[in-house]
Structure 1
Amino acid sequence: MWLDDLLQTIPPLTVYLLVGLVVGIESLGIPLPGEIVLVSAALLSSHHELAVSPVWIAVAGSAGAILGDSIGYAVGRRYGMSLFDRLGRRFPAHFGPSHVQVAQRFFHRWGMWAVFFGRFVALLRIFSGPLAGAMRMHYPRFLVANALGGIVWATGTTLLVYSLGVVAEHWLSRFSWVALLVAVIAGIGVTLFVRRRTHRMAEAHAAQEKDGYYAAESDD
């Protein structure tokens, strides 16, 4: 198939660098489709004729997550919560006050676990590093949770998608491009679903804050 021929022209190193770069930039706090890129690259690695290694995909994803979050932590620690005020004015869909409050509440409740599990949640993935720094979480604790979360997320996702891709290639050997398209569409669908749930959580939190404000006003 023409798509298979096209994919074979992509150098494996380019794939690894792209995964690390996109995941790292997303971890800095910039909303990029890091999970979709990781899933797509892991699926490419299941096509053995492409010479893309799932091990190096996992390494690149892990490194991007750890380095990106660490840089994000340093930026958040340097500028504090005022950073999110500026980002909220420029990018209200991603860094609006209600989104920041939801993330803060999660961090206050779970601490290090918020950093670890934040790697698996779209909203917290872009907040994790900068917010941990702004909230003055001790860096050694942050680094441990960040490293474990990044490695588990990148390695687990890569191995799961790689295994599914091997099975799909076996059954769809004449239509291997279908597996790639299905994985990308599924990744986009999951991202949009999580984002919608996140927006609903943020809107519900904002509504609660608003009701609390009016209740306080009426008591006065």
Structure 2
Amino acid sequence: MEPMIVISAAQVESTAPGWINSLMDTLGAPGAGIAIALENLFPPLPSEVILPLAGFASSTGQMSLLAALVWTTIGSVVGALALYGVGALLGRDRTVAIAAKVPLLKVSDIERTEAWFARHGPKAVFFGRMIPVFRSLISVPAGVERMPLPLFLTLTTLGSAIWNTVFVLAGYALGENWESVSGYVSTYSKAVLVAALLAVLGFVAVRLRKAGTGSHRR
């Protein structure tokens, strides 16, 4: 039997949090799945580090490539399902009540969001799994709107499998250079967050302008 090749701490300490490496060292592919499940629940955790690292671990023989792909996808689905449950427990009434207390947000905004989700929900869940930060958050409105669970699980599994496969395979192919993947994803993530910030600022600007116009009319 060939000896197991374990990723040394020195190889990942500059990029991956030590607990991620410990999970994979101890549990193998299931450890990668647990890390990804936690990443779904806490978006600041670095999926762009976890997935390529799992691919690198596969290239060294620490876990099989298929196991890495299967377990990280299972982790994604478990994390997304937990957030779906949060949305379902929150429900429409609580969401509307919270919206009514948020400055510049109106109940009509929630109603428009509901209408939008009714039309584009399946696409939003599927493609949302490939957008940083939103890949976790999209599960909450799916729960609030009570998207049929089999449909949610199917779309989440497919979208997660595509996202995970790309980055696990990248880490597998790059080997010891797996860290370079995180640089590209970081740029992509920043672009997404900037776009989201601009959208929020635009929303606030429009609301403030409307509020100002309304006060002048009085």
TM over 0.5: yes
Question: What letter is aligned with 1:182?
Answer: S
Return the match for 1:19 from 21, 25, 32.
32
Matches within 5 A, 1:99-138: 104=113, 107-138=117-148
Which residue in the other structure is 1:156 paired with?
A: 166
Change (3 A) 1:209 1:77: same
Which residue in the other structure is 1:73 paired with?
A: 84
Which residue in the other structure is 2:192 paired with?
A: 194
Structure 1 residue 78 displacement after superposition: 0.8
Structure 1 residue 153 displacement after superposition: 1.8
Question: What letter is aligned with 1:37?
Answer: I
Structure 2 residue 73 is the aligned partner of structure 1 residue 53: no
Task: Indicate if the aligned counterparts of 1:29 and 1:129 stay in contact, CA closer than 8 A.
Answer: no
Separation (CA, whole Å) in 2 of partners of 1:22 and 1:84: 33
Separation (CA, whole Å) in 1 of partners of 2:172 and 2:50: 13
Change (3 A) 1:71 1:194: same
Separation (CA, whole Å) in 1 of partners of 2:133 and 2:185: 15
Question: What letter is aligned with 2:133?
Answer: L
Change (3 A) 1:199 1:218: same
Question: What letter is aligned with 1:67?
Answer: V
More helix by share: 1
Equivalent pairs counted in the alignment come to 195
Structure 1 residue 112 displacement after superposition: 0.6
Q: Which runs of 5+ in 1 are unaligned?
A: 90-96, 170-175
Question: What letter is aligned with 1:184?
Answer: S
Return the match for 1:205 from 197, 203, 206.
203
Structure 1 residue 30 displacement after superposition: 4.7
Encode CA deviations 1:40-97: one digit per residue, 9 max, x unaligned.
Answer: 3223433x3x4332222211211011111112111210122547987xx9xxxxxxx7
Q: Which runs of 5+ in 2 are unaligned?
A: 1-5, 13-20
Q: Secondary structure at the match of 2:130?
A: coil
Query: What is the percent sequence identity of the aligned residues?
Result: 23
Change (3 A) 1:21 1:203: farther
What is the RMSD computed on CA atoms of the aligned residues? 3.8
Change (3 A) 1:5 1:70: closer
Which residue in the other structure is 1:180 paired with?
A: 178
Moved over 6 A (4+): 83-86
Please report the TM-score for the alignment, with normalisation by the length of structure 1: 0.69
Which residue in the other structure is 2:54 paired with?
A: 41
Please report the TM-score for the alignment, with normalisation by the length of structure 2: 0.69
